[in-house]
């Protein structure tokens, strides 16, 4: 099959080539998929999309006109795809439901530790031959209350790691798991209660209408002064403008982000040659010393990249045989 791979990055190509085994014809496009770039898919049967590609209704209609009948998502998230329109057009879609929950969970805890112990600031000081410890005081993770919003596979692994640190775990999820409660001493609570009592809050929810801006002005005002807030899930879970206000007031003491609600067209790209960053919100976030931002790299491990590539091509191979992949949406 002829496959148009949008939002291609150098770091993933070796894994895609290995998974393909030279079987399919691959065309790599570094540009994001949108209504202006959809024409690149002409002559292909499959379009492979990454997390920040635009698969809205107009784009899907354009792809269909060009002969695309299959969409192979290289991501677990699919909120960027108009599933209803795809169904109307008869386009088949597959995604990667799981690639490495350990990669995301470990990066989440890495952000916590780096913020807490001010690792980046300390390293920068040492490089300037400044060995002073003033302003670098952190806190013991042991004994702290951590609120985990979302106990899917990633949230459970974060729970296991933090339980090992000796943290008390409050959790919000659609269902309670008696085994997790017994094994890790989890206390289930609503979002309001978690915001009121947690020293650290970490988000591991999908982005759906019910969870968009789940952390906004109201919940931020309920949080402990100096709370640590971590988001490695979906940018739209946080109301960024309200988060900036909370940082200015000192309500948020530490903020760790691997995702950002306006990251499309910004993350995954090199903007270092630009004179002026056009995004005012992220520019403001970058001025705070207690904010640590990574550009959607939590998934970026060799294990995860291999699993994403393997799952993607397993789905495509099933389509080629006339079958329905187990990862179909």
Catalytic residues, by residue number, are 234, 263, 296
- 3 state DSSP class of 229: strand
Q: Where are the beta strands (DSSP E) in the chain?
A: 2-5, 25-28, 46-49, 70-73, 92-94, 145-149, 168-172, 187-188, 200-203, 227-231, 252-257, 291-293
Q: How far apart are CA 257 and CA 232, in angstroms?
A: 6
Structure tokens at 268: 């995954």
Q: How far apart are CA 229 and CA 145, in angstroms?
A: 12
3-state secondary structure labels for all residues of 52-98? CCCECHHHHHHHHHCCCCEEEECCCCCCCECHHHHHHHCCEEECCCC
Task: Please give the backbone phi and psi of residue 255, each rounded to the nearest 5 degrees, phi first.
Answer: -135, 125
DSSP 303-320: HHHHHHHHHHHHHHHHHH
**Which residues, including other chains, have CB under 8 Å from residue 276's CB and lie 6 or more apart?**
none
Q: Which residue has the tokens 């969409």?
A: 71
Q: How far apart are CA 130 and CA 116, in angstroms?
A: 20
């Amino acid at each position: 099959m002829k496959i148009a791979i949008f939002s291609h990055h150098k770091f993933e190509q070796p894994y895609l080539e290995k998974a393909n085994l030279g079987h399919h014809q691959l065309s790599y496009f570094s540009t994001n998929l949108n209504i202006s770039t959809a024409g690149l898919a002409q002559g292909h049967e499959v379009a492979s999309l990454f997390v920040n590609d635009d698969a809205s209704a107009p784009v899907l209609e354009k792809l269909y006109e060009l002969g695309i009948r299959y969409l192979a998502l290289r991501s677990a998230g699919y909120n960027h795809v108009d599933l209803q329109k795809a169904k109307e057009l008869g386009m088949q879609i597959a995604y990667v439901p799981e690639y490495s929950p350990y990669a995301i969970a470990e990066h989440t805890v890495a952000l916590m530790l780096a913020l807490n112990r001010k690792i980046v600031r300390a390293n920068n000081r040492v490089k300037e031959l400044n060995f002073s410890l003033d302003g670098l005081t952190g806190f013991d993770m042991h004994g702290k209350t951590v609120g985990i919003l979302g106990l899917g596979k990633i949230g459970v692994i974060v729970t296991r790691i933090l339980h090992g640190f000796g943290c008390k775990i409050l959790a919000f999820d659609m269902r309670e798991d008696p085994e997790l409660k017994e094994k890790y001493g989890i206390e289930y609570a609503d979002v309001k209660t978690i915001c009121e009592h947690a020293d650290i809050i970490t988000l591991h929810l999908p982005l759906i209408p019910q969870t968009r801006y789940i952390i906004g002005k109201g919940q931020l005002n309920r949080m402990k002064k100096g709370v640590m807030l971590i988001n490695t899930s979906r940018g739209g879970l946080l109301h960024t403008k309200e988060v900036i206000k909370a940082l200015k007031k000192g309500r948020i003491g530490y903020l760790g982000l691997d995702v950002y609600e306006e990251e499309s067209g910004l993350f995954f790209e090199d903007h270092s040659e630009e004179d002026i960053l056009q995004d005012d919100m992220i520019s403001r976030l970058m001025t705070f010393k207690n904010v640590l931002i990574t550009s959607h790299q939590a998934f970026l491990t060799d294990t995860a990249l291999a699993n994403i590539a393997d799952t993607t091509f397993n789905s495509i191979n099933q389509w080629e045989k006339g079958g329905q992949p187990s990862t179909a949406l």
